[in-house]
Structure 1
């Protein structure tokens, strides 16, 4: 794979573009704002998202989506989950025939309740085996700083996954392949919601026992949803499940964890959003779509339900703690 387009110059899109370039792949990074593309071209830095990272010479930037997409063997979609459909619809006519479409977004679409790979297939009109997803512990600033990490590239076409694996393997970034797209996507979407709950707990002053309990029970409800939707249970014990969950719930670099912590300290949702300075905490919206999907398939997800109630119904985070601890007692594996 010689040339890849990365559509989206936020933190994770820029970091993944750097990973590809450092692995020897020529990359064109599309930025929504012309001034961002111009600054990357001029200074080799994306100051609004990764100001301390110098980008490689084989990474070009453009504001023109057609220019970014021309001749690409893979198209990496690095826009937020709730804007993926609208953006991809604008780019559809310029997508190179047969190119692998790669989703970096971690969420479930509001309204349709579709996973991101399902949105890509529907909008782009491509078969399931042409779409891949990247999931795992993907804290952009650490990856951009070349701290060692591993991730998962999931695609039902194993050979496509291997091609992508080769395109983004380097001395600090180790990708594994997986054919369980459903499990990898659910792990990535649900962990954002659980990280909001962990942030709330931290904001309320709770310690490691509370965090471990939320992470573990959060993984349990994610796995229940996965089982109902046909995912491989082992996926949730891997990088796209437990790995991504731990990183997102524990790190101060996690937007969802930080957002939840502000709520736990007493900020309103609007105040927490203002403090995020344009950075998107995906779990704030995805908690609603995941909650609705869980209800549709009959899966109990009490943490997700509680996070939705805090973010959208005005529930006090302290009341969420009381509600979760006051639930009916049962065996751990139920």
Structure 2
């Protein structure tokens, strides 16, 4: 609470700065939600679980003039999108800088640097790249807080906008000695994302390409961290996978449809005599939005081809409806029933090792300001 009050006081001082200084805009949201988790299949989790959770996000942006800008979001950093489960009366909510970035917007181009938001809730290319065998339930959005340190440059080409983003995935390499071949100053985890977005009539096309340049780490999580079959969801270290695909947005009256298709592959021998890595996978997405209702379906399939082929098949449905309670120029209050249904399956040589499901039923109450 002291941290929250200190941040609020800091924002108040900045907001009252003279007009000769940058114009600072403040906003954010606060939410509480109740969630029920139900499990089925060959998981060691047998009981349903009811959780009471909360989240606060504070946003600030500054217009510095002549196209220069700064933006940031402050929230709790964890592996559940900033949501915190209330465990006892002494439970503490810690705020930290989740993303921040600054740069310049010009008429036909822009550039920015910092901890950049990835928009992974709407664009699953980072999901299928970093979680090839379980690219469901928006893992980059929920686990990695939808941001990464990097540089972005965008420029107008033809009728569309081309964006190139260099992302630092990790800083794990510290030496260049022969015994640690593959480490070194430029062998941390770097990735390059290319994205071209253009409108053709009423249809929006967004072809994309993402490649891990040096010593990246990809991996997957089981349906829950306490799952007994964790070892069937491998983690691949020091590899360079690549992903290609795109999104297509199609309006249909009041309904907005989005289709996505992505393919990822990796065939590497890891440094220092490490194991070979050979996998490929794909993800298909269909998303529909009409009014305050949204539903999205993801189908993910991947094959690990080292040794005996292991096939991973996953399905994910996210459905939500936002109910307006109050709205004014100062903010709003909404309720949002949400359903998230996930299935995970892994099989090899005709034997199914993983076959499990999870249903999350949630009710959100959110105030924006």
Give me the TM-score of the superposition, normalised by structure 1: 0.27
Asked which structure has the greater CA Rg, the reply is 2
Higher helix fraction: Structure 1 or Structure 2?
1
Higher strand fraction: Structure 1 or Structure 2?
2
